Structure 1
């Protein structure tokens, strides 16, 4: 579980990132969750964009992704979801205490 200070730090780190994944009409599926989990292991912090034609609410999409990948939800802003998961092999981000 992330503290407010840690979330603020991660938001600032994610500001310059571009969304890597887009959730569209099909919604969230197993294959997408697996791919996002793999990318989180490599990068730790990513953005996911929820497209206009997505049938699910953006908060529902964020909930499914966090449960499926075991990641922490940093923020849902507009149609963008920011996810963080500490890497086991490739730790790059040092969180403030």
Structure 2
């Protein structure tokens, strides 16, 4: 499986701003243009996972995966990706 990642380096001051951006921008592209998103900003990662899980309930259409690459010498890297469920 090859994951097509999207990465942009966005940051915001609040969870509300992060959620607005994640819901209106990258949320619509994950599963369509890209299969995954990489960020070093935990608020965007949290917001994106929240929206992906919310939209996947009660009828799941995607598996949502997450991974954190911990980095002692720099920021942690958050990875969120989806795979289609087989019907």
TM-score by length of structure 2 reads 0.49
The structure whose RCO (Cα within 8 Å, separation 6+) is larger is 1
The structure whose residues are more often helix, as a share, is 1
The structure whose residues are more often strand, as a share, is 2
